[in-house]
Amino acid sequence: MEARCPAEAALGPDHKRETALTSHAHAIARREDARSQPALRYFWLASLSMVLILAQSVFAAAQGNAPRSFADLADRVSPAVVNITTETMVEGRTVPEGIVPEGSPFEDFFREFQDRNGPGDRPRRSSALGSGFVISEDGYVVTNNHVIEGADEILVEFFSGEELAAEVVGTDPNTDIALLKVEADAPLPFVTFGDSDAARVGDWVVAMGNPLGQGFSVSAGIVSARNRALSGTYDDYIQTDAAINRGNSGGPLFNLSGDVIGVNTAILSPTGGSIGIGFSMASNVVTRVVDQLREFGETRRGWLGVRIQDVTEDVAEAMDLDSTAGALVTDVPEGPAMEAGMLSGDVIVRFDGTDVEDTRSLVRQVGNTAVGKTVRVVVNREGATETLMVTLGRREEAESAETESAPEAEPEEPSSADVLGLTLTPTSPDLAEEYSFDEGTEGLVVTGVDDTSEAWEKGLREGDVITEAGQSRVAEIADLEDRIDEARDAGRTSLLLLVRRSGDPRFVALSIDEED
């Protein structure tokens, strides 16, 4: 058996070929007759040089495209990457009553002290930090919606140190994207979007931004996964192990060509810090949103007007379907689909020339189609296929009308419950004031954490707001309990929670016990 040293075995056949060629050339050059004839010696030395050049080329090819440094890329794109600082006026907390007993001799003293220093619930300023990047020389800046949501003032700081005030052009909470505009005296350096669909698992990527408020920073890694769906209808996340921390939100994820293929948005972490699982919204989603925000100041997504669910194996068997592909229509309220003749029980298998895989793919296909366009929709109805012509409406208008027509619910006293080691209470204006989160936030407020629980170990604390569980929104305790039951029924041992702290989102997976 041929023995090889570990280094040779690791370098592989190209290196072995290089070693053999080099040894052969040396052997020829050492021949007695080569030393005795100058012309022949020159010939063999020239041959040796060619062999060495060939070997170097083979070794370089074996190294592939791995970069030796990201410095040139950082120098080229960093002028377009910005830090974003926001200022928000937050209502102060009222000074608790009962500090001085009624009738106490100190009562007048404290009342006089408060009168001199103003009310105890005086508004205060709250600051937040994030990242962004310039996409045009006339000053359009992309960032995350959660970075600037509710801000009274937005300041954009450039790599050069220059600071400019920014105005909000438009936002899209569904994809967590916001478009800002700054006015500058000269054309600004900018970066362009690349094709996120061309990114492959294993490709090098570079993240830039303002992690933890430390200022401009660069981190590198690879694409760990593609097409991640975390919590939203239109999600298409690139997962990367490039370090992303709080403050990186809204910053760009670059490929090695210097094109933006993602917007850094969230991390999965039990501690709140980077553990190498970060998520960037894919550029092919972002560009469509940005184009609409730039043109209209808002998004305009197509609307089909149906309620749908995935086709499971037992449903497919019951309906005598060949596969589980498609989206099963469960309800057809008044809207475009009803006008086109769609019925409950239809299975949508093709939309505007593209096959429908499941409900998520259909929602994205419809949302990416222009409002007012008439499209062909192929449905399976009682074993036969039919083609319907549907003129799409606008989703935002439909959702607004549905909200306005919904009956106003009677306010109820918030109820608390202990779940997964957490004491949870539905959000309310009082809790929003107490824990300084946006009053319109919907979810469950953590009002207590068992310090012996897994939730405590993974960094959940009082004041955190759980807005989603199992990739579905939660507004009541019952919603969370339903998600837990669904996860157990599906055979899962943990539940993914979307937790917001000071507006910043992160995902935390908690174990679910049978007896919880």
- 247 labeled binding residue: yes
- 257 labeled binding residue: no
d(CA 357, CA 215): 43
**Residue 389 in tokens:** 């012509």
- 24 labeled binding residue: no
**Residue 347 in tokens:** 């299975």
287-291 long-range contacts, CB within 8 A, separation 24+ = 287/193, 288/368, 289/172, 289/175, 289/177, 290/135, 290/140, 290/142, 290/177, 290/179
Candidate list 131, 146, 224, 346, residue with the active-site label: 146
Q: Is residue 470 a contact partner of residue 498, using CB atoms and an 8 Å limit?
A: no
- 194 labeled binding residue: no
Q: Which helix (H) or strand (E) holds 508?
A: strand 504-511
Candidate list 131, 217, 219, 249, residue with the active-site label: 249
d(CA 38, CA 57): 29
Q: Is 15 a catalytic residue?
A: no
- 26 labeled binding residue: no
Q: Is 24 a catalytic residue?
A: no
Distances (CA, A) of 259 to 142, 215, 379: 14, 22, 39
d(CA 113, CA 93): 17
Q: Which helix (H) or strand (E) holds 207?
A: strand 204-209
Q: Is residue 141 a contact partner of residue 86, using CB atoms and an 8 Å limit?
A: no
Q: Is residue 417 a contact partner of residue 435, using CB atoms and an 8 Å limit?
A: no
d(CA 386, CA 308): 18
Contacts (Cβ under 8 Å, ≥6 apart) of 421: 449, 450, 452, 453, 454, 455, 456, 510
**Residue 289 in tokens:** 């949103």
d(CA 408, CA 415): 19
- 453 labeled binding residue: no
In the block, residue with structure tokens 């060495």: 52
**Residue 11 in tokens:** 């370098």
3-state secondary structure of 448: strand
Q: Is 72 a catalytic residue?
A: no
Candidate list 176, 352, 464, 504, residue with the active-site label: 176
In the block, residue with structure tokens 């660069």: 218
Positions at the binding site: 87, 146, 176, 247-249
| Residues with catalytic roles | 146, 176, 249
Positions at the binding site for substrate: 87, 146, 176, 247-249
